Amino acid sequence: MTSSSGNISRLLLVVLLSGSSLLARAQSGAAVRGEVRDARGPLPGAVVRWLLPGGADGPSTATDGAGQFTLPFPAQASHRVVVSGLGYKADTVAVPVGSMSPYLRVALTGDGTALGEVTVTGRQQAYSAKAVGSLQTISARDLTKSACCNLAESFETNAAVEVSTADAVSGAKQIQLLGLDGAYSLLTVDNQPALRGLSAPYRLGYLAGPWIGNIDIIKGTGSVVNGYEGISGQVNVQLKEPDKTDALLLNAYVNDLGKFDLNAVASQRITKKWSNELLLHNDHLGDRVDRNGDGFLDLPLATQFNAYDKVKYMSGTGLVAELGAGAIVENRLGGQVGFDKDAPNAYVANYGTSQTTHRYTAQSRTSYTWPGRPFQSLGLLANATSHDFTSAYSYRQDSGPRTYDGHQNTGQATLLFQSIIGDTRHTYRAGLSFLYDDYRERLSDHRVYSTDTQASIDARELRLRTERVPGAFAEYTYTNTRNLTAVLGLRTDYHNLYGWQVTPRFNLKYDLTPTNSLRLSAGRGLRVPNPIADNQAQLASARQYYIGPNLRPEIAWNVGGSYTRYFEVLGRPATFVADYYSTMFQNQLVADMYTAPQFIILDNLQSGARSFAHSVQAEVQAEPVRGLQVKAAYKFLNVQSTYDGQLLPKPLTPQHRAFLNLGYATAFDKWRADLTVQWFGQRPLAHLPADGLGGGHQHGTGTSTLEYAPRFATLTTQVTRAFKRFEVYVGVEDLTNFRQPNPIQNAAQPFSPGFDASMVWGPVYGRLTYAGVRYTIN
């Protein structure tokens, strides 16, 4: 009897101590962390919840895209969690009592029930609630709301990024983020820097829309891991994964301009560990279309062949490796309708432009995660690029075409180690990096002077630059597991041309309440400009290039933050986000078309001068009734630079922009319809003088003599009908058929000093109707 009583006493003591330990951990903010997997790998969306005494359900959470979860201890003592997922058997797991920061590894198995067609009743939030920075995701489903033949069209239903036409001859597209050109935002593919340097003018056409799994848009300075570039933010394009995408996706598109696109995504699970994915793209426009009757093609004739292959290996014991390789061949021809580049004196008889591009890329990602220590990993990221192009632009009849040819070789490598300090509230990443950039450019108007030698010609026309940049970085993250996360990063690079460069960056996220969050960011960014490539649109004008000597790197500080509130409209989830970001340049390559309009003057920011960009945006996303999604936003931009002593607004940047997107989907997504309305305020222009000799903006008079483009709005709509294996879609861009009057100044006299095709502020070809089909095998 005494022995029995003693056993019972000891048991009660253990239970009390266990309860006290759990209560202490709940009060201290500690949490259970872990990962959930199935037979194929990490399991996103699994639900992890506390099982309270009496079988009651306690607080819960869900695993992220990597199958990871964090679940704070409940105030009521408990030592068991239930892990469940759709189509899987639920599992009850005991939480170790003695550990202050336990880590669980849970493997779920199928429940044996065959799943039929699944109805998705909720949509992924576009704005991340977990990310420390201001992160917005464009999902693969969002990409189907518009034609989305390439990356340029992937932002049509997004308010954060503006896409505009660079000029009315080449058809090149460019993006703006926080009021700054796309060159100031870091573009990454699979989280590695890509499509930079000389590829910038046409890079938005080098990634096909059907290849993309999702796009992440980060405002402000991001992680130091990705380098010192990315002054205004980062756009990461995640290509579809070989082990997760459909076995086959075919996409065909055609529009009433005569352009067609063909895309294919084919994946194969070779074994449990090996998978492969082949991405193919071809587009072609062969019709000479001149809808506005100015004698110039509304879009250039163009043909592109693009292929990319990615192989993935997952050992199942912590080693993951990916290897990708791709090639692009593209030809473009624009200008007057009668231009034929193969005709005698082609560039003098008619105005024309031509370009041929060859691009080859290779990329690898390898990571190893320590068994039993999922927070500790070692990774190696590497990529290499060869980009080569030749181009010609009619310029003057007495000298023939102006040619611009370039070649870029790039190699990048990053070695990254990640672990914790004590427990997972304190994590860090540290590593080494190396960047190699070799640029060879030649811009020539083919004028030869009597005193010229080959050396003087090369000095005038040739631009050579080789960069070698070794670097080291470290990034520390603190989270209290409840409402505060802070990230402090620092990297140091030694540039062989510009010496030591130090890049500090800071991001903070604080949850005021479970539905209200504040984010702050501050950091320094640096980029070495490419003056011609960054301003290639001006080649489609009579302007002469003046490039200042001793150009320095562009350096800027970006400071800002955002407020996010999650709430309900008619009982359904909604999100409100307001943000403000300020970019202040210490030095910038200023493209001055105001001071002497016949020139584009490319030089460093003058001593004592200012250059800045302020961006304010407010956006609401809601689903007031089932199937109806609403996105509305307003943006204010104030972007100015000092041009020869005068602070003036940057050309072609509107101060005001409003955005509305309505999307409706019936049950099972059988029918989908989308309507997007975009309104743009006035924007300043920097036209050449109308006759090439006088008129236009008078430098020295401030903004009083600036010419402004009018306000306008565009409407785009698309309807999609889904069947079992394929979808059919039809759409109309620029539904109201609004066009910019005379997008080419002096189109009738293309060889005159007043010719200018670079001041494009609105649609050139008007209403465009398109249709397409998607065929999928899961």
Last residue of a domain, one of 91, 107, 123: 107
Distance CA 634, CA 354 (A): 38
Distance CA 506, CA 621 (A): 28
Q: What is the model's pLDDT at position 73? A: 80
Q: What is the model's pLDDT at position 195? A: 94
Distances in Å between the Cα of 736 and the Cα atoms of 23, 145, 346, 630, 732 are: 64, 19, 37, 21, 10
What are 201-217's pLDDT values in tens digits? 999 999 999 999 999 99
Contact in structure between 90 and 47 (CB atoms under 8 Å): no
Q: What is the model's pLDDT at position 114? A: 35
* Segment among 2-6, 158-162, 407-411 with least mean pLDDT: 2-6
Is residue 476 included in any domain, yes or no? Answer: yes
Q: String of b and e for 350-384 (b: at least 16 CB within 10 Å)?
A: bbbbbbebebebebbbebbbeeeebebbbbebbbb
Full domain range(s) for residue 291: 134-773
Pairing of strands 233-239, 185-189: parallel
pLDDT band at 98 (very low <50, low <70, confident <90, very high): low
User: Which DSSP string corresponds to 481-531?
Assistant: SSSEEEEEEEEEEEETTTEEEEEEEEEEEEEEETTEEEEEEEEEEEE---T
Residues 139 and 96 in one domain: no
Distance CA 121, CA 714 (A): 31
If one counts the domains in the chain, the total is 2
Residues 102 and 152 in one domain: no
Is residue 455 included in any domain, yes or no? Answer: yes
Residue 508 pLDDT greater than 50, yes or no:
yes
Question: Which residues are within 8 A (CB) of 472 and not within 5 positions of it... i.e. 6 or more apart?
Answer: 430, 431, 432, 433, 491, 492, 493
Residues 383 and 514 in one domain: yes
Is residue 701 included in any domain, yes or no? Answer: yes
Is residue 145 included in any domain, yes or no? Answer: yes
Question: Which residues are within 8 A (CB) of 14 and not within 5 positions of it... i.e. 6 or more apart?
Answer: none
Q: Looking at residue 353, which CATH number applies to its domain? A: 2.40.170.20
Q: Looking at residue 38, which CATH number applies to its domain? A: 2.60.40.10
What are 311-327's pLDDT values in tens digits? 999 999 999 999 999 99
- Mean pLDDT in the chain? 89
In percent, the amount of the chain with pLDDT more than 90 equals: 71
Question: Which residues are within 8 A (CB) of 701 and not within 5 positions of it... i.e. 6 or more apart?
Answer: none
Is residue 113 included in any domain, yes or no? Answer: no
Is residue 36 included in any domain, yes or no? Answer: yes
Last residue of a domain, one of 37, 72, 107: 107
What are 560-597's pLDDT values in tens digits? 999 999 999 998 899 999 999 999 999 999 999 999 88
722-729 contact pairs (CB < 8 A, 24+): 722/668, 722/669, 722/670, 722/671, 722/672, 725/775, 725/776, 725/777, 726/773, 726/774, 726/775, 726/776, 727/144, 727/773, 727/774, 727/776, 728/771, 728/772, 728/773, 729/144, 729/771, 729/772, 729/773, 729/774
Quickly count helices (H) and strands (E) in the chain.
4, 44
- For 105-119, what is the mean pLDDT? 56
* pTM of the predicted model as reported, rounded to 2 decimal places: 0.83
Query: What is the radius of gyration, based on Cα positions, of the chain?
Result: 29
Distance CA 188, CA 641 (A): 28
* Segment among 11-25, 37-51, 175-189, 544-558 with least mean pLDDT: 11-25
What are 718-759's pLDDT values in tens digits? 999 999 999 999 999 999 999 999 999 999 999 999 999 999
Last residue of a domain, one of 58, 92, 107: 107
Is residue 691 included in any domain, yes or no? Answer: yes
Residues 73 and 182 in one domain: no
Residues 96 and 171 in one domain: no
Residues 312 and 378 in one domain: yes
Amino acid at 613: A
Residues 232 and 99 in one domain: no
Residues 103 and 139 in one domain: no
Is residue 116 included in any domain, yes or no? Answer: no
Q: What is the model's pLDDT at position 9? A: 47
Token code pair at residue 269: 């699970």
Residues 98 and 140 in one domain: no
Residues 94 and 169 in one domain: no
Residues 502 and 539 in one domain: yes
Q: Dihedral through CA 22, CA 23, CA 24, CA 29, nearest 10?
A: 90
Residues 158 and 248 in one domain: yes
